[in-house]
Structure formats: structure tokens, C-alpha cells
Chain A
Amino acid sequence: MKTRRCAMLKIFGILAVLALVLGFSLPESALAQAKLKVGIIHIGSMTDGGYNQAHAEGIAVMKKNLPEVEVIEVENVPETADSERVMESMIKQGAKLIVAASFGYLDPALRVAKKYPDVKFVHPAGYKRAPNLTTYWASTPEAFYLMGIAAGKTTKTNKMGFVCALPVSFFLANVNALHLGARSVNPKVETRIVFTGTFLDPGKEATATNALLDQGCDVVGMIVDSPITVVQTAEKRGAYSVGYHYLGVQKFAPKGWISGVAFTWGGLYTRFAKQVMDGTWKSENILGSLASDMITLAPFGAAVPAEAIKMVSDTKKSFLDGKKEVFAGPIKDNKGAERVKAGEHWSMDNLGKMDWLAEGIIGQTK
């Protein structure tokens, strides 16, 4: 018995080593003469209809714009030391630009960046930088405010619901923006928020959406990795939905689709690649906005009234002209405390400190 178990262990060990070797030594010769090799690691699946697909499509656009660039793309990389090994393997294959496309890759990417100073790294939403690591993100509250206008004009019960992974300040800012946008055209709107505690649990997301619909909400928004479950569950029960992350979610809600906030990274990734090729790349913190090409509003669904679409485009113009602020005072939180005084506004640079929900939102942040 004992010897057999030892033999089994050996076999398992050999298999594990084989798997590692096979997994991390991709053929190099095929990629030999590219001008630039870009490596990108994704936390989930590139076709999730959400966060990861948005990044994957960005890379696809870059490749189309710059056919001379080679791409090494790996999905489902956990945010552990594994990600460091994958990044290093990409560098050994000649990658000079690494896109570490998930929040949790920040520390691994910083460690690898220190080891390979001549390789450039870019990281979405990172809060730390290095001489060869740029952080980038696009601020979404303006776009969510616009979605709120459309939703506030579309809702019939005057109740919106929101399924959110965690009460993180940037997410709360988006929920506040959506709610304030809706209230700007429909003061009767109330918003209920449910936190699922995880970015990926479709079963729980469906149950959370149902709970909101049970309370009479007829518009749902979401911040989870894949919007598909929430959008589909709402559609099935005849409710409307506001999408997030990726443009193509509309097919899951032919009737109830309002619109969505989507990230379009193609332009930015093309600029990164060009900068690395001509040597002008530098470490910076890029924060895109509605005015940039990083945020796109999805096409409106059939349910949205024409009047609302006009209001959205007017307000969008005021945002772009700098005539309007999303978080313009006076704003009270849902416990009655004044958070923004009349005549002032909450700056977009300060979103990380937004730990409250606006008046009219039913939910707890901590």
C-alpha cells in the first residue's frame, strides 16, 4: 500500500511538472520578426460579455490598427504568483509591453516591472506606479448620470435596483451618479442596492436581481464581472436594464434594454503600442472621461422615449463643455448628512473617498 502511494505521488509529481513545462513554454520561433510584442493577461474569460471582453476587444482593435504588432494573450490567470510567472514567460518570449488587465495584478506587475526595467507595463485602475508602469482608467460617473436620465424617464414604478459586487467607493460613485441622473428628470425615483459580496456568482446575481424586482424595481443596473445574468433575469420579468463594461450585452435584452456604459480601450492600447515602438512611452496616470475615446455609451433600446434620448445628448454636451458637474451640491446622503454644499461639487479626483450613498438610495455601505 505504502509503496503504491509513493509511486502514485511520483506520477502526480511528474504530471504536474509536465503541465507546468507545457503551459509556460509556448513556441517562440513563430513570433520572431514582429516589431513589437504585446502581452496581455486576463483575470477571466475573453468572451464574458463584460470586463474581460472589453479589454480583449481593445487589444483586437489595437491589432487591427497596427498589424505589425504581435499579441500574446492569456485568459483566466489568477491574481497570484501565477500571474508573475505568466508575465515573465511573455517577457521571455520577447514581449516589450505588458497589459496586466485586472486590479489584483497590480502588485505582481510591480514586482515583475522591477525585475525587467526595459519592459513597459500598463495596469487598469492601479493606485501605485513605477518608472516603467503606467496606470489608466476612465471615470464613469458622468456616463452613469446620463444612463440615469434615460432610466428615470423610462421607469414606470419609479424604483430602480442595483446589483453591486462590493461597496467600493468607485462603485458607490457610479450608483450615486445613476441615481442623481434619474432624480434630475424624475424626483420621485428611489434606488435600492444589493451587494453580492463577489464579482462572479451568477446564481447569486440572479437571486439578487429577483429580490430587487420583488420590491417593485423595474430598472436594474449592475457592477459585477459579467452583466449577462442580471440583464437576462430582468428581461425575463419584463424589467429594464442598464448595462456595464461591454457594448454587446444588448442581445440579452431585446425588449428591456435602456443603454449601457462601456469601456472602449482600443484607442488607448493603440497609443500605448505606438509610444513603445517610437520610444515616447512614459510612466503616467491616465484618467479618461466621457470626452475621451475610452468610454462609449451603448445604443439606446426601443423602450427609451425619444424625449429622454434628447435630454441625454443635451446633458452630455454640458458635461463635455464643462458646464455641468455630476456631483453638484447640495447633496445629502441617505442618512441625512450634507455631503456636498450648495454651490460646490465633489471632484472626480476625489471619487476614492466617496463612502456614502445619496438621499433616496436604500442600502448600507458598511
Chain B
Amino acid sequence: MIEPILTGLLVGSIHSGTPLLYATLSEVMSERAGIVNLGLEGIMLMGAVVGFATTALTGNAGLGVLAAALAGGLFNLFFGFLVITRRANQLASGLAMMFCGVGLSALLGVSFVGSKIKGLDEIRIPYLSDLPFAGPMFFNYDILVYLAGPIAVLIWWMLFSTRWGLTLRAVGENPSAAFAAGKNPYFVQYQALFIAGMLGGMAGAHLSIALAKTWQEWMTAGRGFIAVALVIFSKWHPLRAVFGSLLFGGAIALQLQMQAWGVPISPFLLDMLPYLLSLGVLAVWGGARRFEAPGSLGRVFQGTE
């Protein structure tokens, strides 16, 4: 009795947590380089629609994921042009990019609404997926789920163990100092935004070609903004982002599972569960530790002339 409940809950959490994780990693990457990106929702939508369209046209979901990542990256470079080269306000540009992404994705997706695609299927790992208990729990997911954890580790390694990551974090803390050390903050920020855009695009692609296998206008339904909050929750750390997205995705899955179990609690109250849980965790964890936002987050680097 307990096994199917646990399996359902875990699988549900991982499914709803995966797009959140990619999105949170995207935001961690850009905020570590000093750029708040409120346009994440728009990037996810661009990834979702381009990924879905590519899959529908070519029949190849892998190609769809690549196209989604590329679309997200390029779309974010445009944001980069605004906030890095044109030195526009990050919050305003981010919101503008969000609405632009909502509209543009709807426009691009018009002829794909209601299309049927094969999508990313679960990859069953030989032997492991046949294990009792652990098999269906851990070894029956699509490729984007399997990759999510390793990508989080990769980003953690890139940020904290490579010279490139050191430069990137230096730019996020104090771009003038990085500039004085002979680095080009603009170039570093562009790189960060491109990678962040790719991750955001993959977040959208997981929704449209793996989880729901459909394209609907604004189908991300606010996940881009939840991810922005999850970055603060995970204190700008890629590994804590894994925990944060799983917790939040888990709360979404838990409330739906609880309704299916028949738990006699109001569905309205259950729908608030993810947010209540976040509030609870923030209240418990909140104040005591050092605030770890990058020093120059949100500030526009004016150059040194």
C-alpha cells in the first residue's frame, strides 16, 4: 500500500520539479553574473514553443530540445543587448522581455496548437528499471530528467571550480574590480546570459515536449517567476536549487496526490500548499544566515571611463 503512494509522489515531484530546476539554474547563472532576469518566463515559453514546433516538424524530440535551448539562448542574448550593451534597467527590460516572450511564442505557436507529437519518451535503463521499488521510482524518466541533476553539478563545478566561474562571480560581485583585473565584464555577462537562456529554453521544452506533450499559449503558468523566487530560496547555489525545485515540485505533486487519495481537506487550501511550504521553510531558515546575493546584482555596469 505504501509503495505505490511513495512512488507516485516521488515521480510526480520529479516531473513537476524538473522544469523548475532548469529554470532556477538559468536564473542562478545570470544572477551570479550580476543580472536579474525577470524575463525567464518569456524564455521558457520561447523554448517551449520552438521545441514543440521543431519536434512536430521533424518528428525528432532530441532535435526539439536542442532547438529549444538555442532559441532560449538567442532570445536571452537580446535581453543581454538591452541590459549590457544598452545599459537599460534590468527589471524593466526583464518584464518587457517576459511580455515579448509571451506574445512572440503565442504568435509562433498558432499553427501548432492541437498538433500531435511523439515527444520525449521515458528511457528505461536495462535491469535497473526492473528493480522492485527503486525501478519505477528512479529509473523510468525522459532524458531531460536524467540530465537535470548532472547539469546542476556541472554548473556548480563551472561556477565554483573553474577560472571562468571565478571571473563570472567576480563580475557579479564587483564588475569594476573584474575589469581592473583585465577581464571584460560585458563578454562574461553575455556568456552567462547565453547559457542561462539555454537552460531556460530547456525548462520550457520539458513542459511542452516531455511532461504535457502539447503547446498552449502561456503554458508555463508562472513557473518562470517561481524560479526567480527559488533562486533566493536556494541562496544562489546550483546544488541547493536541486533541493528547492524538488521541494516546490513535490508540494505541487503532493497536493494533487492528496486530492486523488481522498484526503478530506479543501482543494483550495491544498492548492496553497506549495506556497505555504515555501513560506514555512523561509521562516525557519530565513534570517539567521548571511544574505548571499551577488554584490552587484541588478546594478548596471557603467564601464570605467
Q: 23 A-B pairs, CB-CB below 8 angstroms?
A: A4-B87, A8-B86, A45-B217, A49-B114, A76-B217, A197-B271, A198-B221, A200-B219, A201-B221, A202-B214, A203-B219, A203-B221, A204-B16, A204-B221, A207-B15, A207-B256, A211-B259, A212-B260, A225-B216, A228-B114, A232-B212, A362-B262, A364-B265
Q: Are B110 and A203 in touch, CB under 8 angstroms?
A: no
| Chain B proximity mask over A334-353: 1 for CB below 8 Å, otherwise 0 | 00000000000000000000
Interface-lining segment among A143-151, A187-195, A279-287: A187-195
Give the residues in chain B near A212, CB-CB below 8 Å. Answer: 260
Q: Are B16 and A197 in touch, CB under 8 angstroms?
A: no
Enumerate the 5 nearest inter-chain pairs by beta-carbon distance, A residue then B residue, closest first: A202-B212, A214-B8, A362-B262, A211-B260, A195-B267
| Chain B proximity mask over A207-228: 1 for CB below 8 Å, otherwise 0 | 1101110110100000001101
A48-B111 Cα distance, complex, nearest whole Å: 10
Q: Are A48 and B257 in touch, CB under 8 angstroms?
A: no
Residue in contact with A226 in the complex, picked from B96, B106, B214, B266, CB distance below 8 Å: B214
Q: Are A192 and B256 in touch, CB under 8 angstroms?
A: no
Q: Are A214 and B257 in touch, CB under 8 angstroms?
A: yes
Of residues 148 through 165 on chain A, the ones whose CB sits less than 8 Å from some CB of chain B are: 161
Whole-angstrom distance between the Cβ of A196 and the nearest chain B Cβ: 7
Residue in contact with A211 in the complex, picked from B19, B87, B256, CB distance below 8 Å: B256
Give the residues in chain A near B218, CB-CB below 8 Å. Answer: 200
Q: Does A205 contact B (CB under 8 A)?
A: yes
Main secondary structure of the interface of B (DSSP, over half): helix
A47-B114, A214-B8 in contact; A200/B260 too (CB < 8 A)?
A: no
Of residues 167 through 220 on chain B, the ones whose CB sits less than 8 Å from some CB of chain A are: 207-208, 211-214, 216-220
Q: Does B125 contact A (CB under 8 A)?
A: no
Give the residues in chain B near A4, CB-CB below 8 Å. Answer: 87
Whole-angstrom distance between the Cβ of B148 and the nearest chain A Cβ: 15
Q: Are B267 and A207 in touch, CB under 8 angstroms?
A: no
Q: Are B19 and A203 in touch, CB under 8 angstroms?
A: yes
Whole-angstrom distance between the Cβ of A50 and the nearest chain B Cβ: 9
Main secondary structure of the interface of A (DSSP, over half): mixed
Of residues 47 through 98 on chain A, the ones whose CB sits less than 8 Å from some CB of chain B are: 47-49, 53, 75-76
How many A-B contacts are there with CB distance less than 8 Å?
A: 138
A233-B285 Cα distance, complex, nearest whole Å: 37
Q: Are A214 and B4 in touch, CB under 8 angstroms?
A: yes
Q: Are B217 and A53 in touch, CB under 8 angstroms?
A: no
Q: Are A202 and B211 in touch, CB under 8 angstroms?
A: yes
Residue in contact with B217 in the complex, picked from A44, A215, A232, A248, CB distance below 8 Å: A44
A16-B262 Cα distance, complex, nearest whole Å: 49
A225-B290 Cα distance, complex, nearest whole Å: 45
Give the residues in chain A near B268, CB-CB below 8 Å. Answer: 197, 366
Residue in contact with B207 in the complex, picked from A195, A200, A202, CB distance below 8 Å: A202
Q: Are A8 and B259 in touch, CB under 8 angstroms?
A: no
A363-B270 Cα distance, complex, nearest whole Å: 12
Give the residues in chain B near A290, CB-CB below 8 Å. Answer: none
- Taking A195-B267, A251-B116 as given, write out 15 further A-B residue pairs in contact, using a Cβ cutoff of 8 Å, ordered by the A residue number: A4-B87, A8-B88, A12-B96, A44-B216, A46-B113, A167-B267, A197-B271, A200-B218, A200-B221, A201-B219, A203-B19, A204-B252, A208-B259, A211-B257, A212-B260
Q: Does A135 contact B (CB under 8 A)?
A: no
A203-B8 Cα distance, complex, nearest whole Å: 16
Residue in contact with A229 in the complex, picked from B113, B214, B221, CB distance below 8 Å: B214
A201-B11 Cα distance, complex, nearest whole Å: 18
Give the residues in chain A near B7, CB-CB below 8 Å. Answer: 214
How many chain B residues have a CB neighbour from A under 8 Å?
49
Whole-angstrom distance between the Cβ of B256 and the nearest chain A Cβ: 5
Q: Does A185 contact B (CB under 8 A)?
A: no
Closest chain A residue to B8 by CB distance? Answer: A214
Of residues 108 through 155 on chain B, the ones whose CB sits less than 8 Å from some CB of chain A are: 109-111, 113-114, 116
Q: Does B244 contact A (CB under 8 A)?
A: no
A205-B88 Cα distance, complex, nearest whole Å: 38
A364-B114 Cα distance, complex, nearest whole Å: 32
Q: Are B116 and A45 in touch, CB under 8 angstroms?
A: no
Of B212, B217, B265, B302, which is in contact with the most chain A CB atoms at under 10 Å from its CB? B212
Q: Are B219 and A202 in touch, CB under 8 angstroms?
A: yes
Q: Does A323 contact B (CB under 8 A)?
A: no
Give the residues in chain A near B86, CB-CB below 8 Å. Answer: 8
A44-B214 Cα distance, complex, nearest whole Å: 15
Give the residues in chain A near B39, CB-CB below 8 Å. Answer: none
Closest chain A residue to B119 by CB distance? Answer: A232
Q: Are A207 and B252 in touch, CB under 8 angstroms?
A: yes
Whole-angstrom distance between the Cβ of A54 and the nearest chain B Cβ: 12
Give the residues in chain B near A53, CB-CB below 8 Å. Answer: 114
Q: Are A76 and B106 in touch, CB under 8 angstroms?
A: yes
Q: Does A5 contact B (CB under 8 A)?
A: yes
A75-B217 Cα distance, complex, nearest whole Å: 11
Residue in contact with A366 in the complex, picked from B88, B219, B266, CB distance below 8 Å: B266
Q: Are A363 and B259 in touch, CB under 8 angstroms?
A: yes
Q: Are B260 and A206 in touch, CB under 8 angstroms?
A: no
Residue in contact with B212 in the complex, picked from A195, A205, A225, A366, CB distance below 8 Å: A205
